Structure 1
Amino acid sequence: MDSSLAQQRQALRQHMRRLRRSLSDTQQFQASQQLAEHAILFSPIEQSHRIALFLSMDGEINTRPLIARLWHSGKRVYLPRIDPTCPTSLIFQQYTPQTNLIKHRLGMLEPEENSEEICTFTELDVVIVPLVAFDSTGQRLGMGGGFYDRLLADWQKTSVFPIGVAHDCQLQEALPIEFWDIPLPAVITPNRLWQWNNKEA
């Protein structure tokens, strides 16, 4: 990776993380409610049965109101776990109100291991993806671990539909991208649905 590009990406990550952490509790609450209202009506989500999400941290838009609506609608909700057999990959496990959560070494909450509730990536209908920033073409900047870029590398060859969720302030005109960055076909923010024809990207 070009060192100047790497520095740009890291500086942008730090700036955007500070920006979203600066939102007040009231702003975060309102944003999460608006996001849930819009997302539950988006047809790929409305028509899905198995949806993977994440539990928010570090100022990310709160996904719990959306999870509650998905449960109420009878959807099966899954959360990512670090694959114990491959620590650079994610697996997905069903999440219900009764699921015990544990904190992973990277800081994220994940379900306590239960091999009977695992769902493979290709068995999912929708994967809702975290991001640090996105741009007007659907490019996504993540935290830098590459988990979702690896996961979504061949999503176009599957029936899985990835969707980013973010605060409105996480939009950038253009991102400093690398060849491994995977553009998204849709991003939902509290005030807007963004869609792109990235199926063949």
Structure 2
Amino acid sequence: MDSKNLRSLMRQRRQSLTRRQQQTASAGLAVQLCRLPEFRYRKNIAFYLANDGEIDPQFAMGIADRAGKHCYLPVLHPLKQNRLHFVRHTSGDCLEANRYGILQPPLRGNRIASMHRLDLILLPLVAFDARGNRLGMGKGFYDRTLSNRAAHTRLIGLAHSCQETDNIARQSWDIPLDAIVTECNTIHIRPEKG
């Protein structure tokens, strides 16, 4: 199946989940994340606000916030196409819709994190396979942004377990993940040997 059709199929799968299934998945995701040393021992963590049926990391973000971690959310870069900033966010902070209708913190007056400050970045996936290959929404926001990340920054993709597929072709521009976490399990990804 080509990436366009796979993307459409997986978006339909996650959009068909009921509100109750989404809440259960969000709670399961928080349990899985809390088991990871990458989550427990990192201080500066980038989350995202779920949209389009994505698995919702809100419970995990609440746990991180209560533990005194610094939470960040992605914000569309106003000038550079298909790039993100990460802005510090705490519960109750103001949010606004971006050009895609997705909520994000306003850039004005907020603390933008340098890519070297972030210890862990959690990113939404549209599809994934057991080898750690992934498919996003197709606009390349994360790939372009993460090409400048620090060596210590861990990248973990988040998805519903129903978004797993047999095989996704890895593209040359894909930034590899360290792990993929669903509401049911964690896939630790070993780097491919050259």
Q: 1:132 is matched by which residue type in structure 2?
A: V
Q: CA RMSD in A?
A: 1.8
Q: CA 1:115–1:197 in 2, change beyond 3 Å: closer, same or farther?
A: farther
2:26: which partner in 1?
32
Counterpart amino acid of 2:101?
G
State the Cα distance separating 1:41 from its structure 2 match. 2.4
Q: CA deviation at 1:116?
A: 4.7
Query: What's the offset of the Cα at 1:115?
Result: 4.5
Deviations 1:121-177, CA, capped at 9 Å, x for gaps: 12100000111001111111000010111123354x621000011100111111133
Mapped pair 1:129 → 2:132: no
As a proportion of its length, which structure holds more helix? Answer: 1
Following TM superposition, by how much is the alpha carbon of 1:200 offset from its aligned partner in structure 2, in angstroms?
7.4
| TM-score, length basis structure 1 | 0.90
CA separation in 2, counterparts of 1:199 and 1:153?
18
**1:167 corresponding residue in structure 2:** 160
Q: Does 1:95 align with 2:89?
A: yes
Q: Which amino acid aligns with 1:51?
A: I
1:81 to 53, 75, 78: 75
CA offsets 1:35-78 (integer angstroms, 9 cap, x no match):
01110221011110000010001000111111111111111100
Question: What is the letter of the counterpart of residue 196 of structure 1?
Answer: I
The residue identity in structure 2 corresponding to 1:62 is D
State the alpha-carbon separation in 1 of the partners of residues 44 and 2 from structure 2. Answer: 36
Overall identity of the aligned pairs, in %? 35
Total equivalences in the alignment: 194
1:3 aligned partner: none
C-alpha distance in 1 between matches for 2:153 and 2:36: 15
Residue 13 of structure 1: aligned partner: 7
> What SS is found at the alignment partner of 2:157?
strand
Give the distance between the partners of 1:172 and 1:153, measured in 2 at CA. 25
**Is 45-54 or 91-100 further displaced after alignment?**
91-100
